[in-house]
Structure 1
Amino acid sequence: MGNGRSAARGSEPTSKLVLASKWKGALSKVGVSLSSWCSGSFRTGGKYEQEQLLPVGMRAESLKHACTGWPFPRFISLFFPVFPYKSQHIDQEFQDIEFIARGSLGPILKVRQRTVEKTYALKVLLKAEVVRQGVLQQCKDAVVIQKQVLHPFVQGVRECWQTSRLLFIKCDYHHDGDLGRFWAAQKPLAEGRVRVFAAELGSAIGFLHDFGVIHRDVKMENVLLNERGHLILTDFGLSRRLWRGERASTICGTIGYMAPEVLRGSPYNHSADWWSLGILLYILIAGKFPVEPQDDHAAMLASVQRAHLPPPAPVSRSLDFLLAELLCADPQRRLHRLDAFSEHCFFHGLPFDPVLLQQLPLEPSQVAGDGPSLSQHPPHLFPDFDWEPLADSETPLAA
């Protein structure tokens, strides 16, 4: 959705993610730009993690001696224990490297693992950027959450590791792409399909909330389709765990999906995710945002407060009621619990057991395949690489 704008209070100018020379060949043949992967500096726990920043000299020294034995340089030990260290060169383990998507802090690549002959999605983060933007703990927490939360409609992490310069997060690869792409090809979606999608996402969100996890960026671009047409919630870059009674206060997410209390900067809890789900369902059935996204939080909040949210027509009365209960401006009155959600009249007769939901037959995606290849993108979409020189441009990527 071109109207969605990712945002976070205090965000810095878009940063550059730099890949070393061995991967330059894999991507530069199609002229892919890596100058705008990062979506700004997000905050965690109410303050920037400035204490994690390394002086430039120390950073260079850590990189220079990254292959030494124990004890590890600080630029490696910073990412322990979540990211174990590997000295193996990445091209020894993977082949057929292709760019497939943009994540919140770096590109997501399609790779084939040589040892098992299986295709995975591999998210690559430059450690210097993670530290410079102050999202070190946030990055580690997101991986821990995905490792702990095992659910059919939530994307887990298969493996994660670090080299001297990079972080790698390996997940299952779903070739049908994200829900936004599917919706653009299929719109408008039939209410029956929306009903199943709503049940699957509600099941995933409720499961996360039972573990205390708030996602904070529920949107179509963060929902994948598996080979059977069912949904997978992904991208936990803004998620965090809230303990009982705890509230978050960071303004973050995608502006068109943000709940009023998030836009306002008020303390908020898991209820904000249910508002985002309501926005997503409204778009699926109506083909547009209920409130057009604005350029900043204040303007967006004013638009939401002024807006009268008419039901998208034509829809059933039960779906109309569900949207009204999800898009309630008062988070205390908003539908925000899985038990109440699953018992809503819109889902009458639909099983909410994840195993049974997965068995529901869905029409195969009409946009199946890996999507447009890199070579099919117009050149102007991918200007020349922007490169930050490393100590030795011929040094292997994982050295």
Structure 2
Amino acid sequence: MGFCCCKDEPIDLDSEVDLYHFDLHRAVGKGAFGKVRVVEHKRDGQLYALKYINKKSIIAMKAVKNTVQERRLLEEINHTFIVNMRFAFQDDENCFMVLDLMLGGDLRFHYERKLTLGEDAVRFYIAELSSAISYLHSQRIVHRDIKPDNVLLDKDGHAHLTDFNVACHIEHGKALTSVAGTVYYMAPEIIYRKGYTFTSDWWSLGVMAFELLFGRRPFRGKKSVEVMRSIMHDTPEIPEATGHMASAEAKDCIMRLIEKSPSKRLACKPKGAGLAELRAHAWFRGYDWEKLDKKAMQPPFVPDPKKLNFDFSHELDEYMAPSELLTHQKRKNRDVNKLSKEMRQLEEE
């Protein structure tokens, strides 16, 4: 599994959870706001994913609000197809979130190696993710960054939505106007900045389905402004080249998810009726939704447990920068920690 670090003195496993309760294993991810590595709880041997974010980096990137918001949202939610948070704590240097471990890798990793994932697989992932998205919306949470990179597979091949860094609550009667997310997956209503709600997540799901099934994104450009212009004005064309064939039902479902008008977009009916509309679509004819929600349906693809289902460079980067390597080494204990104080002040603003 990798290198482990242990604390010399005995650990009280009944005390408040901290880094010493876990053995540290290999690094498996790196993003703009943090790193992820596999950890093992010393009490029961349960494996988790530890996401840790350096406080100096949070403050320098002015990302305190996002970090605090992500933790608070994860404390509220728990769903079969979401990467749920199990513990959260901090020390002088880092903020930590202990999450469900997904050993199957993300959809971007598998897509880039296969070019397309096949219609059965894409339909299965869209079905599972639709359940997660509908649940979030019922909690008045909009994710705002649904894309292949943020969908992780467990060891059995089930899809789980992760990365709530730009997710937020929507208050009753109030629309969002801030631009957030990844430009290729942004809904037109986000770009126009005239106000948007939960409908933007269904658009992003449709863009992702298009990409996974047809091998390219529906809206493209060399620069962000060109991508935005394409999203606002272009009608995507479905490639019909060999290897990209899809059923008429699949094409209809995906094109209706990327309908530019939110009021006409599939799954966007008000008062929670959107999920039922999606599930009633012909592309999902014959689906046993009760079995799917219980993870009782067999996934079309099971990741190989003998292979690394993530980019090995994450681990290489970790050990190429020993000054940034996460260890159990004791941090200096100060009565008033400058970084924690700054974090608290920024959180209160």
> Normalising by structure 2, what TM-score?
0.79
Mapping 1:148-163, distance limit 5 Å = 148-163=76-91
Runs of 5+ consecutive residues of structure 1 not aligned to the other structure: 1-24, 28-84, 389-393
Mapping 1:369-380, distance limit 5 Å = 369=306, 371=308, 377=313
1:215 partner letter = H
Per-residue CA deviation, residues 87-120 of structure 1 (Å, 9 max, x unaligned), is 95x3x32224321101341111111222221211
Separation in 1, partners of 2:315, 2:80 = 38
Which one of 134, 143, 149 corresponds to residue 206 of structure 1? 134
Which one of 274, 291, 295 corresponds to residue 358 of structure 1? 295
Which one of 341, 345, 348 corresponds to residue 278 of structure 2? 341
1:323 partner letter = I
Per-residue CA deviation, residues 115-171 of structure 1 (Å, 9 max, x unaligned), is 221211000012233234333333222222222222100111000011122111001
Deviation of the 1:194 alpha carbon? 1.6
Separation in 2, partners of 1:119, 1:378 = 19
Is the Cα contact below 8 Å between 1:104 and 1:237 reproduced in 2? Answer: no
> Normalising by structure 1, what TM-score?
0.70
Is the Cα contact below 8 Å between 1:96 and 1:112 reproduced in 2? Answer: yes
Separation in 2, partners of 1:382, 1:121 = 15
Is the Cα contact below 8 Å between 1:95 and 1:111 reproduced in 2? Answer: yes
Q: CA RMSD in A?
A: 3.0
Alignment correspondent of 1:275: 203
Matched, 1:300 2:227: yes
Query: Paired residues, what number?
Result: 309
Matched, 1:260 2:188: yes
Q: What SS does structure 2 have at the residue aligned with 1:101?
A: strand
Alignment correspondent of 2:61: 133
Alignment correspondent of 2:101: 173
Separation in 1, partners of 2:213, 2:309 = 26
Deviation of the 1:246 alpha carbon? 1.5
Q: What SS does structure 2 have at the residue aligned with 1:168?
A: strand
Runs of 5+ consecutive residues of structure 2 not aligned to the other structure: 6-14, 269-273, 334-349
- Quick one: structure 1 residues 263 and 367, their matched pair in 2 at CA, closer, same or farther if it must change by over 3 Å? farther
Mapping 1:83-232, distance limit 5 Å = 90=19, 92-232=20-160
Separation in 2, partners of 1:329, 1:373 = 34
Is the Cα contact below 8 Å between 1:255 and 1:293 reproduced in 2? Answer: no
Separation in 2, partners of 1:221, 1:261 = 22
Is the Cα contact below 8 Å between 1:224 and 1:232 reproduced in 2? Answer: yes
Separation in 1, partners of 2:314, 2:175 = 45
- Quick one: structure 1 residues 105 and 150, their matched pair in 2 at CA, closer, same or farther if it must change by over 3 Å? same
Q: What SS does structure 1 have at the residue aligned with 2:181?
A: strand
Alignment correspondent of 1:247: 175
**Greater displacement, 349-358 / 247-256:** 349-358
Identity percentage over the alignment? 24
Which one of 250, 263, 273 corresponds to residue 332 of structure 1? 263
Separation in 2, partners of 1:304, 1:278 = 13
Deviation of the 1:357 alpha carbon? 5.5
Is the Cα contact below 8 Å between 1:203 and 1:352 reproduced in 2? Answer: no
Separation in 1, partners of 2:99, 2:275 = 26
Deviation of the 1:262 alpha carbon? 1.5
Separation in 2, partners of 1:373, 1:341 = 31
Is the Cα contact below 8 Å between 2:303 and 2:309 reproduced in 1? Answer: no
Separation in 1, partners of 2:323, 2:239 = 47
- Quick one: structure 1 residues 204 and 168, their matched pair in 2 at CA, closer, same or farther if it must change by over 3 Å? same
Deviation of the 1:180 alpha carbon? 1.3
Is the Cα contact below 8 Å between 2:106 and 2:149 reproduced in 1? Answer: yes
Q: What SS does structure 1 have at the residue aligned with 2:85?
A: coil
Which one of 319, 327, 331 corresponds to residue 397 of structure 1? 331
Q: What SS does structure 2 have at the residue aligned with 1:358?
A: coil
- Quick one: structure 1 residues 315 and 357, their matched pair in 2 at CA, closer, same or farther if it must change by over 3 Å? farther
